[in-house]
């Protein structure tokens, strides 16, 4: 709308507005016999026509995501809230775990047997079991090699100071295991982290943790490797991959 005096008029599409001006060349008598002004409408061009403007609020809606503590997570487990759910706690988020294919299970079972034969009672080997990290994370690596005796974990999960190294079997979760999981473990100074890469038939060795990642990352597909915690133990790579 455009206002002239005490009248408002709408702009037309050409950017013109109608106005009323007094006609000086025509007068007509009204009912009383007096002369009155005849008015006629003309249009004028407006140099910068008024256009509607969309006004956006400067106040943006913000949302807060609830983060769960390890204590919260354990209460949910105790209360049965997470029964029949395959989940893990990552940075305060309860995250669904990917379902396993047979090759995934077979690979970490074969790896567990190889480790048990090589290490004996020098370490405790957990499979698909939680570990506790101090930033409200409780992931479940496929294999955790931890300090003995096993009784030290009767009332708690292994923590970074207990862990010799961790192993994940990567199939559909390859990018996650080589990315976010590696960063998480490095952040908490897990000394060594291996990923058995099923699609690429490689064993990834992550060492020298320094947040936000490991400084040394190499992959092998043959020969033998020795974990940092047990340099005298030689593990045959091909046995883990095939």
Number of helices and strands (H, E) in the chain?
5, 14
The CB-side HSE value for 13 (13 A sphere, CA atoms) comes to 0
Global pTM value: 0.73
Residue with the two structure tokens 């290490």: 119
Residue with the two structure tokens 């007096």: 34
pLDDT at position 65: 77
User: Distance (Å, rounded) from C-alpha 16 to C-alpha 66?
Assistant: 56
pLDDT digit string, tens, across residues 92-144: 999 999 888 899 999 999 999 999 999 999 999 999 999 999 989 999 999 99
CATH for 99-241? 3.90.1570.10
Phi and psi based region of residue 5 (left: phi greater than 0; alpha: psi -120 to 50; beta: remaining): left
pLDDT at position 17: 43
Share of the chain above pLDDT 70, in %: 74
pLDDT at position 242: 76
DSSP letter, residue 55:
-
- Show the 3-state SS of 141-176: CCEEEECCCHHHHCCCCCCHHHEEEEEEEECCCHHH
pLDDT at position 8: 43
Which tokens is 192 given?
A: 């060594």
Residue with the two structure tokens 């033998």: 224
User: Distance (Å, rounded) from C-alpha 5 to C-alpha 17?
Assistant: 13
pLDDT at position 60: 60
Lowest-confidence range among 97-106, 183-192, 197-206?
97-106
pLDDT at position 48: 52
User: Distance (Å, rounded) from C-alpha 174 to C-alpha 168?
Assistant: 9
pLDDT digit string, tens, across residues 33-74: 554 444 444 444 444 544 544 445 455 667 777 899 999 999
3-class secondary structure, 3: strand
Question: Where are the domains positioned within the chain?
Answer: 2-45, 99-241
Residue 23 pLDDT > 80: no
């Amino acid at each position: 709308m455009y206002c002239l005096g005490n009248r408002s008029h709408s702009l037309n599409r050409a950017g013109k507005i109608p106005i009323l001006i007094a006609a000086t060349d025509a007068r007509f008598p009204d009912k009383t016999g007096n002369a009155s002004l005849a008015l006629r409408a003309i249009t004028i061009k407006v140099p910068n026509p008024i256009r509607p403007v969309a006004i956006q609020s400067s106040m943006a809606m913000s949302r807060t995501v609830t983060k769960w503590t390890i204590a919260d997570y354990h209460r949910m487990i105790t209360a049965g809230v997470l029964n029949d759910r395959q989940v893990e706690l990552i940075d305060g988020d309860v995250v669904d775990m990917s379902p396993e294919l047979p090759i995934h299970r077979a690979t970490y079972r074969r790896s567990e047997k190889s480790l048990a034969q090589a290490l004996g009672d020098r370490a405790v080997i957990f499979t698909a079991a939680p570990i506790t990290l101090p930033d409200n994370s409780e992931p479940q690596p496929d294999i955790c090699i931890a300090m003995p005796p096993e009784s030290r974990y009767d009332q708690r999960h292994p923590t970074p100071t207990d862990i010799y190294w961790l192993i994940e079997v990567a199939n559909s979760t390859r990018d996650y295991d080589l990315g976010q999981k590696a960063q998480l473990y490095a952040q908490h100074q897990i000394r060594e982290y291996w990923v058995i890469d099923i699609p690429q038939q490689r064993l990834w060795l992550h060492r020298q943790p320094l947040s936000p990642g490991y400084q040394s990352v190499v992959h092998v597909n043959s020969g033998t490797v020795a974990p940092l915690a047990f340099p005298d133990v030689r593990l045959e790579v091909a046995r883990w991959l095939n």
